[in-house]
Structure 1
């Protein structure tokens, strides 16, 4: 296949030759190309496919009637709000999970890391819905499923056994959450997380909402286990915003350790109080940074619209970015940054000026979208998009093909 007249990252127009799902040649645009086998870029921007590395497909209400938010503050209160309501939704869970993934692909997301809540109440029901959606849309996106103990690992008997069963059935990421605040036994919680990950040879992703010094304490325990088990490049901290709120020295120490152990950071670009990690500093330290939508208009929050271009705008806005280079860097995080978390074999971004994804040998996951520049596309968030995954056109004009 040939993608003609596309502008990678808003640069000069080129023609992209794709062979066996990979970019095999990049040449200046030839206006006299034959029509056969050619996807017309029409001078649109080309960026890598979006990577949503923090989404809860299992709690989605995308496409359903709006309902008033009824959740109580805090992780446990929000979890109970989901638990008390998700079975009574207007559409069965497998249908709405698959529909949400379909919409994400149509908007340009070609890599997804989705949580699947596992606890004594839902058991494997949510995991099975996410697994079915992954299989249904395998041609449109690569999906990793995380076995996630939203209610903790220790508070309800039977949770750990269900978690391990999900790993046996195809989950490729082991989740953890607030080892101190939720389970109140960080050593046992993290020992279980790392033991199961090592046993089943899967990655780790830990939700960390804990405040200040508590977040740093949990992170120290995570660093120790990553180092001891040789799990460099296999661990992600999600949220972890309070790691930037204790002191500059403490933040610098944890960033240095994350870089040395290749521990990634996944953000959902929230409007947090206090300091967030500085995106440029994280990148220059060699820390992989990815972006996600978190909930999708669900029982936790009315936010989320399946569009990672919207979330890229939010990332730039909440970090106060105005310069084109930094806003384009936010787009690089939303695309290549997340991809490098899902596949540590991909190189880490090292500066805010890197614009990856269009070298010979790169995977042909591409979004063509209207815009004068990448920054203008982030601001305008238009609907003229063509989505290519593994060298195949999978969506056009926000419709799955």
Structure 2
């Protein structure tokens, strides 16, 4: 397949030859070249790697359903309880909701997804099974990892650990954890379970960390300590962690250096806080960093629309970025940054100027976007998009090709 007249990361017009799902060559655009069946008209659009949403809760989605009054209560437990009280009563079933949401994400350019699947004594494995069904339905259009997620904690309700292990037996890719101090109030036992099950089933780990101030730092340091002791470098991600920069500069620098040393990755949903660890410093230190949409118009909040390009704009905005290089870096985080967390064969971003993923030898997971410059694609967020996964066009004009609509 030839992608004709595209601009990789906004560079001059090029022709990109794809063979066996890999970019085989990138050459200067030849306007006289005759296109064949199956070739793609770039039309002068900008070519970037496809998006990687590495922090999304497909299992709580209400995408495509009518807006409803937000009834959540403060705190993780209050919000989780609101979800429990309402998720079964949605207008359509959870299997259809999850598949429809994943379909819309793919249509907008996301072909790599790490989704959480809540497992507890309330939903048992029902939410996990819905995410697994969507993963299977769109196996040819996206790579999906499923994280088994103890949203209600592990220790607060008897039987939770049993259901978590059942999901891992069924093939979950990642073992989850959440707020070891604040929610379960026993960080040692909580991390015993998380790291123990991950070791037993040979999975990676992803821990939600909403804890603030010194408590959040304490939990992060416990996670790092376990990672080092068990030799799990490169297998642990800390998500959110939006308060780890609130203590002092020396502590922030120590955490960043520790995460880099142990290859502990981080994911963000671009929250409206200024207390997170600085993105530029994390990148310069070599910390893998990815972006996600979190909930998708669910029982936690009305935000989220399946478009990681919108969340890229938000990442740049909440960081106060105006320089082209830094806004482009946010797009690199949303694409290759997340990909490097899901697949360690993908190199982490080397600097804020690194623009990988569209050269010969790279996997042909790509998006064509209308725009004057790379920054303008983030500012304007055009619907003119063509999505390529493993060297195949899987979506165009915000429609997934060759798959019956989920709902």
**Partners of 2:164 and 2:382 in 1: CA distance:** 40
CA shift for structure 1 position 241: 1.2
Match of 1:9 in 2: 9
Q: Is the 8 A contact 2:241 2:276 kept in 1?
A: no
SS in 1 for 2:244: helix
Match of 1:260 in 2: 261
CA shift for structure 1 position 167: 0.8
SS in 2 for 1:63: coil
Deviates more, 1:108-117 or 1:228-237: 228-237
Q: In the alignment, does 2:90 pair up with 1:89?
A: yes
CA shift for structure 1 position 242: 1.2
Q: In the alignment, does 2:66 pair up with 1:65?
A: yes
Q: In the alignment, does 2:169 pair up with 1:168?
A: yes
Match of 2:404 in 1: none
- Please list every run of 5 or more consecutive structure 2 residues that lacks an aligned counterpart in the other structure: 402-407
SS in 1 for 2:162: helix
CA shift for structure 1 position 305: 0.3
Deviates more, 1:223-232 or 1:319-328: 223-232
Instruction: Show the 5 A alignment for 1:124-135.
Output: 124-135=125-136
CA shift for structure 1 position 226: 0.5
Match of 1:329 in 2: 329
Match of 1:299 in 2: 299
**Partners of 1:346 and 1:230 in 2: CA distance:** 21
Instruction: Show the 5 A alignment for 1:265-304.
Output: 265-272=266-273, 274-304=274-304
Q: In the alignment, does 2:297 pair up with 1:312?
A: no
- Please list every run of 5 or more consecutive structure 1 residues that lacks an aligned counterpart in the other structure: none
Q: In the alignment, does 2:378 pair up with 1:389?
A: no
RMSD in angstroms over aligned alpha carbons? 0.7
Instruction: Show the 5 A alignment for 1:370-385.
Output: 370-385=370-385
**Partners of 2:112 and 2:198 in 1: CA distance:** 21
SS in 2 for 1:241: coil
Q: In the alignment, does 2:29 pair up with 1:26?
A: no
CA shift for structure 1 position 275: 2.3
Task: Provide TM-score, normalisation by structure 2.
Answer: 0.97
**Partners of 2:226 and 2:348 in 1: CA distance:** 22
SS in 2 for 1:244: coil
SS in 2 for 1:145: strand
**Partners of 1:295 and 1:341 in 2: CA distance:** 20
The C-alpha deviation readout for 1:98-147, integer Å capped at 9, x for no partner, is 00000000000010000000000000000000000000011111000000
